[in-house]
Amino acid sequence: MRIGVISADSASESRVALTPDAVKKLRKLGFEVVIQSGAGQAAYYADEMYQAAGADIASSSTEVVTQSQIITTVNDLPAAAIDQLTSGQIVIGMLDPYRNTQLDTYAGKGVTVFAMELLPRTLSRAQNMDVLSSQANLAGYKAVLLAANEYSRPFPMFMTSAGTVKPAKVVILGVGVAGLQAIATAKRLGAVVEASDLRPTAREQVESLGGKWLDVPMSAEEAETAKSTGGYAWTPSEQYVKDQAAVVDKALSNADIVITTAQIPGRNAPRLVHGATLAKMKAGSVLIDMAAGTGGNVEGSVPDETITTANGVRIVGAANIPSQLAAQSSDLYANNLVNFITTLIAPAATNDTSAKTLALNLDMNDEIQGALAVTHENQVRLAKR
């Protein structure tokens, strides 16, 4: 059975779905692998490295599609590759399912599409397939470095004969996987860190990393809701949003660096920083909006652009930070994919290393496969949000 790797179809994507190491693992399981020439180049994986790992090289995405049963990708496939798909093929990637406009096309062609973002994250056997976590972890780290680079002062406190340098004040809004890594990284660089999240359970995690919790008052009813959502974000009341804006306004008037990470799967990101707050911020302060690609946490942020407000505040619209760490983010993403692909193979066949005898075991009743499959047997299976 052959697995294909398609090259990213965009200048702003440097990651690759499978690395040479992943190819080796798949070869060991009995798969053949074909990769589009140059697909790993931007992540520093040359065609020769894939060949040495046992992959074949194809000259185009369409050639990969026509040769493969399972097609792996970082983001959605290019139109030419989609055109070539036929019934029974499988596509696996970060396919942005709630905003993907091609699902009807995939379903119409009888293709099974697995969107890795839909993984049930609390399932312990799924944790090594969790692409959101593997990518957000790296993104949280890199966001702090991007901020440090934009900022015209250092992060740590320095005592010098020319005077004392104060530590940078960093505020992190949204303390999931990316936010926690951002707190840890900013602390390691010597900054003073404050953080907030609408999940009250995040408080303990912030404090254990040495950050100060920015508390937003919450009604007893909301506190109950927070407990019952299994650790995921919920829609806060108007009063909470108002109180949160006041807390954010006060914290940001005094901040040097702000990193926003708040996202809600399947919906636009919540607006956490408003124009009136930006107007009170210090000249030279820097905001990194990690939700810029899904509507933005910061008013006025533009995906993949850095803008400077009239009062000298810089807003970085960081739509795809993992791509800026392409070598490492590809390694982890590829591991996630290999772990998932392993579950698609019939258990009896995994002991047999002959490529001809590998058998697919598609099972929509399986809690991982069933959650990830957005199209299968000519149906779009994605529930609306």
Enumerate binding residues for ligand NAD (CB under 6 A).
Answer: 121-122, 127, 130, 132-133, 136, 174-179, 197-199, 231-233, 236, 261-265, 270, 272
Q: What is the DSSP letter of 380?
A: E
> From CA 199, how far away is CA 184, in angstroms rounded?
19
Query: Known catalytic residue: 237?
Result: no
Residue 148 or 233 having the CB closest to ligand NAD: 233
Bridge partner list, 4: 34, 71
> From CA 351, how far away is CA 184, in angstroms rounded?
42
133, 135, 181, 263: the catalytic one is: 133
Query: Known catalytic residue: 121?
Result: yes
Query: Known catalytic residue: 232?
Result: yes
Q: Please report, as a single letter, which amino acid is at residue 303.
A: P
Residue 323 has φ and ψ, to the nearest 5°, of -65, -25
Minimum Å distance from CB 200 to ligand NAD?
A: 10
Query: Known catalytic residue: 50?
Result: no
Ordered DSSP codes for 74-92 = SSPPPHHHHHH--TT-EEE
Structure tokens at 21: 């190491």
Residue 32 or 289 having the CB closest to ligand NAD: 289
- The position carrying tokens 């004969």 is 161
Minimum Å distance from CB 121 to ligand NAD?
A: 4
Residue 5 or 126 having the CB closest to ligand NAD: 126
14, 76, 130, 135: the catalytic one is: 130
10, 104, 208, 232: the catalytic one is: 232
84, 127, 324, 328: the catalytic one is: 127
Residue 83 or 215 having the CB closest to ligand NAD: 215
Residue 167 or 174 having the CB closest to ligand NAD: 174
> From CA 200, how far away is CA 215, in angstroms rounded?
9
Minimum Å distance from CB 276 to ligand NAD?
A: 18
Dihedral sign, CA of 272, 274, 280, 283? positive
Tell me the residue nearest to ligand NAD as measured from the CB. Answer: 176
Residue 298 has φ and ψ, to the nearest 5°, of -110, 130
Minimum Å distance from CB 124 to ligand NAD?
A: 7
Catalytic positions: 121, 127, 130, 133, 232
